[in-house]
Structures are given as structure tokens and as C-alpha cells.
Amino acid sequence: MTIASTRAQAVAEILWELKKADKLGTLTAIAGRAGFPAGPQGRTISACLKNVRRDWPHLQWWRAVADNGQLEADQESCLKAAGYGTSAISGGNYEVSSFTDQLMSWEVAEVVGAVEVAQD
């Protein structure tokens, strides 16, 4: 297994976490959680997401958003279809409405998961 496929597998698992939590994640946070740097201007994570989109098309790749909340055109339509609010910004671009409220907080999720395991 190559480094690229190992990274793509890790990112796929994180996208699954985001789907289950109905949350979004920034490119930098997803890369960090997967154990690698996002790369210059997010190129490493972006290349990894292209592999995920190709190999696991059923995963909600659009949950991985730029660190500033700005969206690609096809990403904006997917988010709207899923019920997320988006806002038009300059240049015909879009961003996620209430961006920080939509982001996954893995620290909180891990604490909740630990409590659930302890209660079982």
C-alpha cells in the first residue's frame, strides 16, 4: 500500500466520522487527524481528497471545506442539498453560513465517545 492510498484511507474514515456527526471539517484539521500535514496551500490534502472522490464516490467528500469556509462550486451545491446554509461572497464565490458552528470538534466527540464506552 502506498503512502497516498494510506492517507486516502485515513481521510475516508474521517469523512465517515463527519457524516455520522453531520458536521464539516477543515482541510487542515482533517489532514492533521489523518496524521499528515495539509501541505503548501492544502495541496497534499486536496490531492488526497481527489483520490477519495475517485475511489469512494459514496463518501461525502464535500464535508471537507477550506480553512476559511470558502467553497468550490460543486461543493456548494452538495452542501445546499444536504441542508447547509451558504452565502454568496465577492467574485461569485460561496462560503458556509455559520461556519464555525458547523465544524466538527473531535475533542468533544472523543470525550462523549469515552463516556458512552464507560457507561456500557
The per-residue pLDDT for range 3-36, each reduced to its tens digit, is: 557 899 999 999 999 999 999 999 999 999 999 9
Residue type, 15: L
Identify the pLDDT of residue 2. Answer: 59
pLDDT band, residue 114 (cuts 50/70/90):
very low
- Cell 500500500 -> residue: 1
- Tell me 32's DSSP state: H
Contacts of 96 (CB under 8 A, 6+ apart): 24, 65, 69, 71, 79, 84, 85, 86, 87, 102
Q: What is the pLDDT of residues 97-111, one digit of tens each?
A: 999 999 998 875 454
Looking at residue 113, which CATH number applies to its domain? 1.10.10.10
> What is the span of the domain harbouring residue 106?
3-119
pTM over 0.85: no
Domain count, the chain: 1
pLDDT band, residue 119 (cuts 50/70/90):
low
Residue type, 64: A
